Every structure is written in C-alpha cells, then in structure tokens.
Amino acid sequence: MAKSNRRRRLERSKRQARASQKRTVAQRRQAAEETVRVVLERYDRLLDPGTPPAELADLLSEHYDGQPVSSRLAARMMANGSSPERLAGVAEVMLAGGTADRCTPSLTALTFAAAAARAAEDTGTARRLLDQALDATDDPDTRIYIIEHLRASGHVADAIELLEVRLCEAPDDDDAAERYGVAIEEAYAHVNDESAAGGCPCGLGAPWQECCGPRERAALSRFADRSGLIALSDAVSAYLATSGYGRAVDDRVAETLPPTEDLDWSPAERAALGALAAEHALLTARLSADEETEDSQGPLGPPDADDTDTPLAAFAADPSAPAELAARAAAWREHIHYGLWRIDGPGPAPGLWCTDITSGVTRYAEFPAEFTDRMPRWAVWLGGIVPVDGIWRSTGQGFRLSPTEGDAAAELVQAAATTLIHAMAGKPKKPSRLMTEPVRFGRAEPLGVYVDFDDPASPHMASLLGKVTGVLLPRIVAEVQLHRSAPPALRNTDGDAMCLITAQIRVSDAEQAARHLVARPDFERDADDQTRVAWYGLRIPAAQRAAMLAEARAQLRADRYLDADIEDPSTPQRWIRGTLQVRDGELVAEVNSRQRLTRLLDVLARIGADPVVTDEKRIDPAQDFASPAGEDAFPRGAAPPAEGWEKYWLDEQVPALRGRTPRQAARGKERPLLEALLRQFEYEADLLATEGKSGVDTGWLRQELDMGHDPDD
C-alpha cells in the first residue's frame, strides 16, 4: 500500500547514508535530468518565434506524437512572440501534411489548428476542428485532452456535458472527475459574475445569457440536485421495510455500535453514528447465518465483489426495482468510497475538493449545503462519497474531524489495511499495536500533510482502504468522541500546567536584583538588551547536544531539506523558563506557569529583593495544543500575537513536535509535524470565527516561522 510504502521509505531514509543507495539515486537523477534537458530544448524551439513553420510542424508532431497538443500551448507561443498568422501558417502545413499522406489529419494537427484558429479569433473554425478531433477517437484518455481544449476555448457547457457522459460510464476516472470539478467551478464563476452581460466566453458572438449560459446553469442544477440520491435512499428504505434485510441491517448496526453507556455523548450524535452505521450495513449485512460465519474469516471482512446477499446488492437485483434506481444502487455498491476526506478549501464554488488522506484519492464532491457552509479549513470528513449518475456526492451521513483527529484515524486505517493485506497474502501477522491500543490522537504521523507529497494509491489499494475505513467507522467515531470528552492538559517543559503570565513585580531595588540574579548560573543578561534577563532551565549536556545535532543534520539531508541546516549553537543550549525586564524601577516577568512564577518569587525573596506582585496578566490555554481536543477550540487571549500566547509558543518545547520548539521544528525534520499543527490551529480558528471569537493568529506564526501553506516552501 502506498502509505505504508512511504512510511517504510521514510524509515529507510532514517537509517539512510548507505553509499550505494545514494549512487543509484544520483544515477537515476542524472538520467532523469538528461531526459528533461532534451525535452526542454525541444520545447524551447517550439516556443521560439524564429523556428521555421515546416520545422515547427515536425517538432510538434514529434513532441506530441499524434496526441492532442496542450491546451495552453498556443497562448505560450504567443506570449513568446509568435503571431496568430504564424500559428495559422504552421497549422496549414500540419493539416496539409495529413492530406498529403492521404490519411486524416492527426489529433496533434487538429488540436493545434483549433488553437491557432482560436488565436485568430475564428471561433467557428476552432469549434469545427475540435468536433472533428472528438469524432476521430473513442479513447477516453485522449478525448479528455480534446475536451480540455473545448473548456479552454470557453465551451464550458459542452465540456461538462461530455465529462458527465464519461463519468456515468466510469465514475472512477480520476482525470475526468478532476476536470469536471474545474469546469463546474468555472460555470459557477460565470453565473456569479455580474459583468457577464458581455459576449459569451465561447466567442460565438451572442451574450452569455443567451448562448452557453442556460446550459451552464443547467449543469450547475444537475450538480446541486440531490433528488437522484434521495430517491434511491427512499426506495432502499422501503425495500428494507418490506424484506428481511431491514432486520439484517438493524442486527448489523447493533453489533457494530459501541455500547451507549461507554460514551458520554448526545442523543443526536449517537443517532448520527447509527445512521452512518446503517448506511454502511447496506454493503455488509447478510440474511443468512451461514454466510455470516463465512464472513467472519477476518474482523475486517471486506464486502466481496460477487456477493449478492447484501441489502444494496439484493435491491439492485430486485426485478421490481425501477431500472434507474437499480443502476444507481449498483453504482453505489461498486464505487462508494468511505474515506477520511480532507477538505481542500473550502472554496466559494458549489462543491468541495476533498482528498482522502489514507489513499490520496481526490474528488470534487457535492455536499448538502448545511455541511458545505460549516466546513472549516483542513476539516476531515469521515464518510462515504458516492457517484450518482456520474456526479460524486456525499451521502449526507458522516462526521467532521479535526486535522489531528483525521491523522490519528488515518493511521489506524492504514495499520488495519496492512494487517488485512498480510492476512490476504496468507502471511498473517500479529496486528500492529496501532490496532489494539487507543487511537493516537495528537501523536500520529501527519498523514494529512504527507498525502500531498505522495502518489495516490492504486485503484485496487484505494478501494481496499475505502472498505477498511467503512468497517472501522464506528470505532473511529467512538474513539474521537472519547478523546473529545477528555482533553488532556497543556504542560510546559517543567511539566507544569501551562498558563502564560506577565507579572509586574515591585522589588526593593530592581537594578540590584537584576545584578544578583545574573550572578546565578540560571540567569543571564540579554546581550542585545541589557535591561532584559533570561531565566534558563536545565543545561543540555554537550555530548547529548552534539548527538542531537548530528542526528538532526542527517535527518535534514535524508528528508531532502538540503538547503536547511541547523546552526551549531556556540553557547550551551538551554530552555528558557522566562524573562525579566527592568522597567520603571520594577521587574516585569514573563513566565508560562503559575509554578514558575512562584519559583521566581522564591528566588527573588532569597536574594533579599522583597518581591511584591503588583499586577498580573494571565492567558490561560484551556487545552492541550500538542494534542488539541477536537471541537473544543481554544480562543486566543486579548494580547496581540507578538506579546501573547503565540510569542511564547514559538520557543516552547511542544510534545507534538517530539519535544522540539516550533522555531527548531521549522528548520528541521519535524517541519511536517509543525505544518500539521498549524493547520489544526487554522481549523480551530475557523470554528471559533463562527462564534465571533478569534483563535490563534496562525498568519503571524507562519510569518515568524517562515512557513507558507506548503511545507516545502
């Protein structure tokens, strides 16, 4: 499986530094670079306005090899100085080449000629050539590129209609599904564009409202229309009520749901899980006890493709079911993908881009409006997405998880899938501890970050992961619920409960107190600001420091953060416990726990400074940021980030960053963990915003840490 391969790859690179492996990588890279160089040189000549038309026609045929040209090629050539006349000349040579050989023009010639006609604003000819190209091929993958030309030339409605046809036949065509999403977003933009009174983007001359407008609106209506899904659900419900399958579903739900008394949650939440479990039982419940035992070969018992004794399969095969509904039931059964869908957006458009963080499958899916409107950044939707007449939709049942909850759940799914694969291969292994121990909320690998850097799983593997996710739904939801009901407390590096305090301390003589403090080994004057005194924690022994540094450097290389490096600190590395500043004859102390303030006051008393706290400001993080507890987001204090919680957090050792501080993590191998944590803050900030509160100022943190959204930045 892709994810476990990746993890193994990471493990391997952790041990890394094997010279032979490095050599192989270097050779492979060299070969790849050579290929890239040749292609780029050819591409440069394609773009060069000085290349003679006949040579250009040959280069295009060589580069695209009979396949459609890129829909952006003509625009790039024009940007490099080619005129529409020059493109037309090349197109003429290419089209004539086909005729001379007494065969029809290639798709390369047709699509290039269409692009050239579009550049010359001859939209009628462009359209005719693209239609000719579409007629010339049945190959779905090739047609996708021609459809892309249609969309790029403003024929959005035509592109959507053709993609819908393709997706009805093959809902899992990832490329078609993605381009459909892009086209739907484009139609949505047209509908909401006030200035659309002008000519239609397709260039045929009429206003958009009278030209492609009505068909684009119709496509959006089809996208938003859940009636096909509702009709199917209603019919299946009626079928369950009148057949033995209703009972089978109820039994299955009763088996899979955790006992009520184990979980402290609302009836609404429990009902939601019940509905989700019942939906999943449509794929797994059985009528007869015999087959039930057969199914018990493994705890994961993935539904067998040939299995017809499950409710949805029986409905699809029922002669009295209307053909249209039976077909939808069959498509549901074959294609439904239960996943941990990271919401990539959310954008303003009618659907949501979502990526299953276990398999890497990406879909543009329609969700009921009540979910779309309440989806914070980076939310993870645990539920099924199903194609209905070619359009991917949320079934409407599911749970919204936070990014860290999603990572922990994904880790469980991957461990279960690995166990299952070993069992299927006849090499059963003892289940991983991930399977038998509580889900590792806040400690899991940042899979939601990694997924963008890995190839999606193969269709078979994605399907298996989807099935495993479906089977594990009740356990994931129950564990999330438990986790949310018991948020762990936030601790600083001394293990004290974290509480950010700025205290104004009156002392007998502030300057003298500062001098006495810096005479101690754990206090030190700030080199840049003599009014400031830092209070240090334990020293890290030199040998341990050297080992940490060597390890970190090796990691940076292994993780290919080649440009990054960790400075060798010339002074002994220690954790800062707090700072003191002499201001207006008093001391201003900044510490991050009640206990530290008490200890500081003890020290001041011992040096005879007679400390009295005259003012105290506190920011009380009510929950553990290292392992944030789901929906209970933490509203930030009133202090601006440069003085408040955010400032302290940057230099605090964070358990979720394996004990590194955010500033260290940003430069080291924990960068993906830090990215995951920042996303969690962004998610929580979005949740708080709906209540009119503000969360952590992640924008400020990202700036301080020099981290854009992309961890490779």
- Nearest distance from C-beta of residue 163 to Zn ion, angstroms: 17
Q: How far is the CB of 244 from Zn ion (least distance, A)?
A: 54
Tokens of 393: 């939709």
Residue 218 C-beta: closest distance to Zn ion, Å: 13
| Nearest distance from C-beta of residue 389 to Zn ion, angstroms | 25
Residue 632 burial by Cβ neighbours in a 10 Å radius (0-12, 13-18, 19+): middle
Q: Is the CB of 212 or the CB of 587 nearer to Zn ion?
A: 212
Number of neighbours of residue 261 by Cβ within 10 angstroms: 6
Least distance from C-beta 188 to Zn ion, angstroms? 16
Q: How far apart are CA 593 and CA 128, in angstroms?
A: 73
- Among 176, 174, 182, which Cα is nearest to 146's? 176
Contact stretch for Zn ion (CB under 5 A) within 33-41, 204-212, 394-402, 591-599:
204-212
In the complex, what is the shortest distance from the CB of residue 139 to Zn ion, in angstroms, rounded to a whole number? Answer: 27
Residues 445-477 as b or e (16 or more Cβ within 10 Å = b): bbbbbbbbeeebbeeebbbbbbbbbbbbbbbbb
Gyration radius (Cα) of the chain, Å: 31
For Zn ion, the closer CB: 203 or 246 = 203
Interface residue with Zn ion, options 77, 176, 200, 439 (CB under 5 A): 200
Q: Which is nearer to Zn ion, 176 or 212 (CB)?
A: 212
Structure tokens at 314: 């029986």
Complex with Zn ion: residue 196 or 566, whichever CB lies closer: 196
Least distance in Å: CB of 206 to Zn ion? 7
Q: How far is the CB of 185 from Zn ion (least distance, A)?
A: 18
Query: What backbone torsions phi and psi does residue 381 show, to the nearest 5 degrees?
Result: -95, 115
Give the nearest distance from C-beta 391 to Zn ion in angstroms.
23
Query: Judged by CB, which is closer to Zn ion: 160, or 357?
Result: 160
**Whose Cβ is closer to Zn ion: residue 202's or residue 361's?**
202
Residues 6+ positions from 306 with CB-CB distance below 8 Å: none
Smallest gap from Cβ 87 to Zn ion, in A, equals 23
CB of 154 to Zn ion, least distance (A): 6
**Dihedral sign of CA atoms 493, 494, 495, 500 in order:** negative
For residues 575 and 567, give the distance between their C-alpha atoms in angstroms, rounded to a whole number. Answer: 16
- For 447, half-sphere exposure in the C-beta direction (CA atoms, 13 angstrom radius) is 35
The least distance separating Zn ion from the CB of residue 204, rounded to whole angstroms, comes to 5
**48 vs 50: CA distance, rounded Å:** 5
Amino acid at position 655, single letter: P
CB of 73 to Zn ion, least distance (A): 23
DSSP type of residue 340:
E
Inter-residue contact 167 to 140 (CB < 8 Å): no
Question: Which range, of 85-93, 129-137, 197-205, 235-243, touches Zn ion by CB under 5 A?
Answer: 197-205
Stretch of 159-167, 195-203, 409-417, 473-481 lying at the interface with Zn ion (CB under 5 A): 195-203
Q: Yes or no: say if 363 and 392 are a contact pair by the CB < 8 Å rule.
A: yes
Strand partners, 355: 342, 362
Choose the stretch contacting Zn ion; rule: CB under 5 A; options: 198-206, 264-272, 336-344, 488-496.
Answer: 198-206
Nearest Cα neighbor of 628 from 428, 458, 403, 446 is 403
Residue selected from 107, 211, 413, 687 as contacting Zn ion according to rule CB under 5 A: 211
What does DSSP say about strands 391-401 and 500-506: parallel, antiparallel, or unpaired?
unpaired
Residue 126 sits in the site that holds Zn ion (CB under 5 A)? no
Q: Which span (192-200, 345-353, 628-636, 701-709) binds Zn ion, by CB under 5 A? A: 192-200
3-state SS, residue 362: strand
Q: Which is nearer to Zn ion, 87 or 202 (CB)?
A: 202
> What is the separation, in whole angstroms, between the first and last Cα of the chain?
28
Q: Residue 282, interface with Zn ion (CB under 5 A)?
A: no
Q: Between 212 and 331, whose beta carbon lies closer to Zn ion?
A: 212
Count of CB atoms within 10 A of residue 155's CB? 26
Listed ranges 95-103, 209-217, 257-265, 313-321: which one lies at the site for Zn ion (CB under 5 A): 209-217
Task: State which residue, 1 or 202, has the beta carbon closest to Zn ion.
Answer: 202
46-54, 211-219, 240-248, 333-341 -> range binding Zn ion (CB under 5 A): 211-219
Task: Kindly identify the residues of this chain, within the stretch 32-61, that bind Zn ion according to CB under 5 A.
Answer: none
**Which residue is associated with the tokens 């009709």?**
231
CB nearer to Zn ion: pick between 153 and 372: 153
**358 with 414: CB under 8 angstroms?**
yes
Q: Extract the tokens encoding 538.
A: 């334990």
Q: In this complex, which beta carbon is closest to Zn ion, that of residue 152 or of residue 282?
A: 152
202 counts as binding Zn ion under rule CB under 5 A: yes
Among 265, 282, 275, CA closest to 397? 275
Quick one: 157 or 232, whose CB is closer to Zn ion?
157
150 vs 580 by CB, closer to Zn ion:
150
Stretch of 96-104, 212-220, 437-445, 532-540 lying at the interface with Zn ion (CB under 5 A): 212-220
Residues binding Zn ion: what is the number (CB under 5 A)? 4
Indicate the residue among 212 and 629 with the shorter CB distance to Zn ion: 212
Binding segment (CB under 5 A) for Zn ion, from list 49-57, 125-133, 199-207, 378-386 = 199-207
Omega before residue 258 within 30° of 0, cis: no
Instruction: Tell me the closest approach of the beta carbon of residue 192 to Zn ion, in angstroms.
Output: 17
Q: Which two three-digit tokens encode residue 387?
A: 């194609």
Segment interacting with Zn ion (CB under 5 A) among 5-13, 179-187, 208-216, 475-483: 208-216
In angstroms, rounded to a whole number, what is the distance separating the alpha carbons of residues 352 and 172? Answer: 17
Shortest distance, position 12 Cβ to Zn ion, whole Å? 54
Closest to Zn ion by CB, 202 or 498 = 202
Report yes or no: 352 and 375 within 8 Å, Cβ to Cβ. Answer: yes
Backbone angles phi, psi at 669, to 5 degrees: -70, -15
**Strand 380-388 vs strand 362-365: parallel, antiparallel, or unpaired?**
unpaired
Tokens of 154: 């403003």
What are 87's two structure tokens?
A: 């493109």
**Which one of 73, 77, 107, 212 is in contact with Zn ion (CB under 5 A)?**
212
80/209 with CB nearer Zn ion:
209
Residue 576 is inside which H or E element, if any?
strand 574-583
Nearer to Zn ion, 211 or 656 (CB): 211
Shortest Å distance, C-beta 127 to Zn ion? 10
Minimum CB separation from Zn ion for residue 205, in Å?
A: 9
Stretch that binds Zn ion, among 201-209, 407-415, 505-513, 675-683 (CB under 5 A): 201-209
Beta strand segments in 283-430, E: 337-343, 352-356, 362-365, 380-388, 391-401
Q: What is the Cα–Cα distance from 365 to 496, expressed in whole angstroms?
A: 45
**448 CB contacts (<8 Å, ≥6 apart)?**
342, 357, 378, 380, 403, 406, 407, 410, 676, 679
Interface with Zn ion (CB under 5 A): 200, 202, 211-212
